[in-house]
Structure 1
Amino acid sequence: MGNVGLLFVGAVLFINGLLLLGKVDARAGAVFNLFVGALQVLTPTYLIFTANDDPLKILAASGIYLFGFTYLYVGVGLLADLDSTGVGYYSLFVAIAALGYSFVNFRLLKDYPFGVIWLYWAFLWFLFFVLLGLKKDEITVYTGWVTAIEGWVTGVIPAGLLLSGYWKHPTEIAIALAAFGVVVFTGLWLRTRRTPGPTSAAPRVGGAGAPT
C-alpha cells in the first residue's frame, strides 16, 4: 500500500514542479494536492493500525504524514490564496525530520536507497523553506526543476520498480541515486541561478511545489 502512495507522491511533485515553473494553474494544482494529501494521511494510518505494534513498521509509516500534511496544507493554501510563510516554515520542520528518517533507513532499517531518497527529500523541502518561508523568489525556477525531477527519481520510478518486483541491488541503487543527485542538481543550479522565476508563482504556491 505504501508503494502505491509513493507513486502518487511522484505525481504530485511533478505537478507541483510544473506549477512552480508556471506551466500549471495554481488552483488546478491545488485539487490534486488535496487528493494526494488525503491519500498520504490515510495510508500511514492504515499501516500503523495493521503493524501489530512493530516499532520499526510504525516508525517507517510515520514519516508519510510529513508529506500528507504538506500537500493538504498546499492545497488549502492555494485555494484560499493564503500567504505561503506557514508552509515554508513547516517545510523546514520536514527537512530536519527527513534527515532523521534518512539516518533511520541507513542505520536501523538497512534500506540504503531510501536513506538516500530521504536526503533528496530533505534537500527539496529545505528549498521550499527558502523559497516560501524566506521568500527568496530567485530560486523559483531551480526549485521547480528539482521538484519535478524528484517526482520521478524519488517517487514514480522507485514505486514502479517496487510494485513490479524489480527493486534489486540496493547498494548499487543507493550509489547511483547519490551520484545522480549531486551531478544533476549541481548542474541545474549553475544553469538556473540567474534565471528569473514566474512573477507570481512563489508567493502563491503553498509548499510542495512543493513531495514531495
Structure 2
Amino acid sequence: MATVGLLYVGAVLFINGMMLLGKIDARAAGIFNLFVGAMQVVIPTVLIITADNRADVILGASGLFLFGFTYLYVGIGLLGGFDTTGVGYFSLFVAIMALGFSYANFKIANDKPFGVIWLYWAFLWLLFFLLLGLKREHLTVYTGWVTAIQGWVTAAIPAFLLLTGYWQNWNQNLLAILLAVFGVVVFGGLWVLTRRRRTLPGDTGRAGGETATAH
C-alpha cells in the first residue's frame, strides 16, 4: 500500500517541478496536490491502525504523513493564493525529520537505498524552505529541476520497481552508491548550469511568469 502511495508522490513531485519551471498553472497543480496529499494521509493512517503495534510498520508509516501534510498544505495554499511562509517553515521541519528517517533506514531497517533517498528528500525540502520560507526566489529554476528529477529518481521509478519485484534483485549496497553518486553529480551539475544561466545578460534566472508559490 505504501509503495502505491510512493508512485503518486513521484507524480506530484514531477507536476510541482514543472509548475516551478513555469510549465503548469499553479492552481491546476494545486488540485493534484490535494489528491496525493489526501492519499498520503489515508494510507499511513490505515497502516498504523492495522500495524498491531509493530514498531517497524509504525515507523515507516509515520514518515508518509510528512508528504501528505506537505501536499495538502501546498494544494490549499495554491488554490487559496496564500503566503508560502508557513509551507516553507514546515518544509524545514520535514527536512530535519528526513535526516532522522535516513538514519533509521540505514541503522534500523538496514535499507541503504532508502537511507540515501531520504537524504535526497532532506535536500529537496531544504530547498523548499529556502525558496518558500526565506523567499530566495533565485532558487526557483534550480528547485524546479531538482523537484522534477527527484519525482522520478526517488519515487516513481523505485515504486514501479518495487511493485514489479525488480528492486529486490539489485545489490542494495551498489544501488545505494549509485543513487548517492547520481545525486551529487546531477544536482551539483544543475547548480552550476542554473547559476551560469543567471549570470547571462538579461536573464533573471526565474521561471517564466510569476514565481510559483509552493511545491
For Structure 1 versus Structure 2, the TM-score category normalised by the shorter chain is: over 0.9
Please name the residue that 2:58 is paired with: 58
Question: Are 1:82 and 2:90 matched, yes or no?
Answer: no
Give matches, 1:17-28, under 5 Å.
17-28=17-28
Deviation of residue 71 (structure 1)? Answer: 0.2
Moved over 6 A (4+): none
Give per-residue Cα distances to partners, 1:91-133, cap 9 Å, x unaligned.
Answer: 0000000000000000000000000000000000000000000
SS of the residue aligned with 1:82? coil
Residues 21, 201 of structure 1: 8 Å contact kept: no
Deviation of residue 184 (structure 1)? Answer: 0.2
Identity %: 65
Please name the residue that 2:7 is paired with: 7
Please name the residue that 1:148 is paired with: 148
Deviation of residue 201 (structure 1)? Answer: 4.3
2:127 counterpart letter in structure 1 = L
Structure 1: give runs of 5+ residues left out of the alignment. none
1:164 counterpart letter in structure 2 = T
Please name the residue that 1:113 is paired with: 113
Deviation of residue 198 (structure 1)? Answer: 2.4
Rounded to whole Å, the distance in 1 between the matches of 2:64 and 2:11 is 15
Please name the residue that 1:178 is paired with: 180
Please name the residue that 2:207 is paired with: 198
Deviation of residue 56 (structure 1)? Answer: 1.3
Q: How well do the aligned residues superpose, as a CA RMSD in angstroms?
A: 1.0
2:98 counterpart letter in structure 1 = A
2:86 counterpart letter in structure 1 = G
Residues 21, 208 of structure 2: 8 Å contact kept: no
Deviation of residue 50 (structure 1)? Answer: 1.2
Rounded to whole Å, the distance in 2 between the matches of 1:44 and 1:197 is 36
Rounded to whole Å, the distance in 1 between the matches of 2:105 and 2:152 is 20
Rounded to whole Å, the distance in 2 between the matches of 1:69 and 1:54 is 23
Deviation of residue 199 (structure 1)? Answer: 6.0
Higher relative contact order (CA 8 A, sep 6+): 1
Structure 2: give runs of 5+ residues left out of the alignment. 199-204
TM-score by length of 2: 0.94
Rounded to whole Å, the distance in 2 between the matches of 1:136 and 1:55 is 39
Rounded to whole Å, the distance in 1 between the matches of 2:208 and 2:73 is 22
SS of the residue aligned with 1:63? helix
Give matches, 1:89-104, under 5 Å.
89-104=89-104
